[in-house]
Structure 1
């Protein structure tokens, strides 16, 4: 339990930082005079942590969980100090990049360390605890950030990381001291592969993020980012095929269980993060909710996910099986998202019920996909396999927000609404919806709300269609007995 406590602290740090900043962005932009690049305070962290996650997985397999996780915590702590001391918006964005590079290791290495100390049969239950930490961070982050900014200063949303990070560092160093320092053989770290992967993925993610902010896809700088990123990723694939000890073993992705689970996790977070952004906008613009109540209406979704993960973990411990859980969750998700398209956003209770169903569908898939992936690879590759699942989740979230936001902008433009690109990094949708809300309840506002609702409905149906890919893949998933399961469980699987 000491090990689990330390790892949960590390996971809490990474999860809290993704939610605590957004609520105080306007005040930060006001104090540092940086409204034009405000959105990048969040995007910089998400992109950096996404890029770093699979690299941390490989390093933890080579150098050991304890040293790599300690490094991630120290980098996160130093970057938090830099964020708190930032005097300009560019300084804050650079510090957030460093903080993201540390945060990328907090979650993936912690989950891999859980795999080192918990048998596979029991692991789903502990992954349910991880989902619970995520839920707490998602709900508490905006509240804590708002109170700190109101009563102290926005800088305290970063200062608060110091005692948590120091406690996590001391606990992790003490709790993981008995874990092996490495895989027992010499490794050569593929620095060129890590550089190509980081550079290429950064270019693609920055391109997608700019699209989600409403920038023109045909701008020369956007196309340069996309072209350069794709070229670097192609070189990365070439490098990994020839490297003696690649950063991401491409052969692992040819294992059907690993590939299917990574895709389903990608689709889970493609939907989850996008819904977390788009549903509050829909509640405000179409349903007429205030900003604070719109955020609170996401609580049923946020609470249902760890509950679904807890159920999945218990069922895996009892049965030793993961495929039925993934199949139920992946089949239910597109149906629920399609139902969201036709539920009146003003119907609070019915919307909450549908969101609970979506949260349960996603929650069932999270621990089952992770445990299935860890079960499909040798123990010495658990770190990079776990990092691949974490990377798939984070990549799905980043791509989902960018793609679905871009589709929504296109739908609004097609309907005749004036949605024009904005200079700098300001989010075009947020700017547009602030203008809509300022219209009040007149006839013009009613027309705009109806137009927006048609766009949201089409968007949710398109999102549901994308989710249909998951159950089609899970059907092809080959279930294997969880390592450490009793013989009778193996017989039941057969």
Structure 2
């Protein structure tokens, strides 16, 4: 579910021409974080913080949620619906920005997010919780995309790179704050308060937006055309897998997968015929450099998602960790991702090729370790948990090593005249892979016994099967990564 490394020109066609602010005396961090720019930075970074912290809060407290209101068979739906709604919010953010202006768009997004958090905190049952998660995801998608888009509106161009780095760095902050908030509230048995705690924060950032962001740009441009049919097919494909995953009957699971395959075929057909496309030319063909890149990115994202969703549950049930500790251990993937990105950012030549190939290889090693270790109950001592920690770091580290160079090659492989579409499509591909990975993880876990027979035996079986099956993702990723290396774009 990690979305930190996104392109700086997300939704570029929909962003109005920048309104120059007072030019900073220099392009350093002091110019970005002081005075009026400092307040603007806080407001925009706050949107990403809300979205990112909420991701880690939810994964940390979900075991407590299902113990209280039930719905273990819908466990993965909390992530699936949240991410699917984030896709819609991200895609619709351009129109929201064009219709209401920066100030109105940011306030509206904050209010939608706060409404979702309120519903989650009051949820008496899992269906109501899922409704709240969907609304949260919609608001989070708005906030996430708008925070990037508004950089061009409120900062001088010389400050854009540092503003991008600041907002991207908020995911690192979230890995520290999110599990702590979720773990503390879950530890005291008041998981609902974890959602409620986000409401005043959202209100505060809405107030900041109303104070420091511009209303409407004088040269306001209309939003870019929306690929509505493709978005509907994409979302429906994810939900079809999720619907099939609820039942422990194999026939129902196969039916859900079959429906997803049909909807994906309709998505590809619509893309080829549509005037306004969701993805650039060649995105669905593995024979192209762009297709191989998207495939590798998707497989890496799927591997991370399958672990992040269920790791807190497995650690609490099978390895006797508290909600707080389990949340932080699950966040080790995100920490490994950040570490890998920093470590490989200066690579060149053969180092880039090694970094790209290291992604799926480390992911495979980590998944196989988890398949063996996670499903074997322990007393929770660190001697037993430490190898699990190493496996989680290895998966995140592999993705982090490869990710910056995969993004760079996506830009290089952009078809002529489709550079903007290619840049914006990275978010769509990553979120779709995350949502689909969550839905498939729920299907595998439920089939393996998480709901029936449930308990310790069912959770052990689910852990082993989940990581064993999803180890196939990095296996395939090795071959797509090799193709990426061979099909180096000019």
User: Is the TM value for this pair above 0.5?
Assistant: yes
From 439, 442, 451, the equivalent of 1:428 is: 451
In the TM superposition, residue 289 of structure 1 has moved relative to its aligned partner by 5.1
Q: Does 1:248 align with 2:278?
A: yes
Comparing 231-240 with 132-141, greater Cα deviation is found at 231-240
Matched residues in 2 for 1:373 and 1:471: separation? 13
Q: Does 1:271 align with 2:321?
A: no
| Structure 2 spans left out of the alignment, 5+ residues | 1-31, 33-37, 374-382
Q: Secondary structure at the match of 2:233?
A: helix
Give the count of matched residue pairs: 438
| 1:489 matched residue in structure 2 | none
Q: Mark the CA change 1:332 to 1:118 in structure 2 (over 3 Å): closer, same or farther.
A: farther
Q: Does 1:399 align with 2:436?
A: yes
Matched residues in 1 for 2:467 and 2:188: separation? 40
| 1:201 matched residue in structure 2 | 234
TM-score (norm 2): 0.69
Q: Mark the CA change 1:176 to 1:241 in structure 2 (over 3 Å): closer, same or farther.
A: farther
Comparing 387-396 with 67-76, greater Cα deviation is found at 67-76
From 341, 353, 357, the equivalent of 1:309 is: 341
| 1:160 matched residue in structure 2 | 197
Q: Does 1:146 align with 2:183?
A: yes
Q: Mark the CA change 1:49 to 1:453 in structure 2 (over 3 Å): closer, same or farther.
A: closer
In the TM superposition, residue 332 of structure 1 has moved relative to its aligned partner by 1.2
Matched residues in 1 for 2:417 and 2:151: separation? 14
Any conservation in 2 of the 1:204–1:226 contact (CA below 8 Å)? no
Q: Does 1:133 align with 2:187?
A: no
* Deviation by residue 1:173-231 (Cα, 9 ceiling, x = unmatched): 666639968785x66744xx42x3343233321232345556334239x737853x665
In the TM superposition, residue 389 of structure 1 has moved relative to its aligned partner by 1.7
From 138, 157, 164, the equivalent of 1:101 is: 138
Matched residues in 2 for 1:187 and 1:300: separation? 38
Matched residues in 2 for 1:5 and 1:247: separation? 34
Comparing 142-151 with 31-40, greater Cα deviation is found at 31-40
From 72, 76, 85, the equivalent of 2:113 is: 76
Any conservation in 2 of the 1:266–1:396 contact (CA below 8 Å)? yes
| 2:477 matched residue in structure 1 | 467
* Deviation by residue 1:123-160 (Cα, 9 ceiling, x = unmatched): 5x766655542243244323312333555844322322
Matched residues in 2 for 1:361 and 1:115: separation? 32
Q: Secondary structure at the match of 1:428?
A: coil
Comparing 200-209 with 457-466, greater Cα deviation is found at 457-466
In the TM superposition, residue 475 of structure 1 has moved relative to its aligned partner by 0.7
Matched residues in 2 for 1:208 and 1:140: separation? 32
Matched residues in 1 for 2:137 and 2:467: separation? 34
Matched residues in 2 for 1:67 and 1:163: separation? 18
Any conservation in 2 of the 1:64–1:181 contact (CA below 8 Å)? no
| Structure 1 spans left out of the alignment, 5+ residues | 413-418, 420-426, 438-448, 481-494
TM-score (norm 1): 0.69
Matched residues in 2 for 1:27 and 1:105: separation? 28
In the TM superposition, residue 14 of structure 1 has moved relative to its aligned partner by 1.2
In the TM superposition, residue 10 of structure 1 has moved relative to its aligned partner by 0.9
Q: Does 1:332 align with 2:323?
A: no
From 206, 210, 217, the equivalent of 1:169 is: 206
Matched residues in 2 for 1:233 and 1:436: separation? 32
Q: Mark the CA change 1:406 to 1:43 in structure 2 (over 3 Å): closer, same or farther.
A: closer
Matched residues in 2 for 1:145 and 1:376: separation? 41
Matched residues in 2 for 1:408 and 1:74: separation? 34
From 2, 7, 11, the equivalent of 2:48 is: 11
- RMSD, aligned CA: 4.7
Q: Secondary structure at the match of 1:155?
A: helix
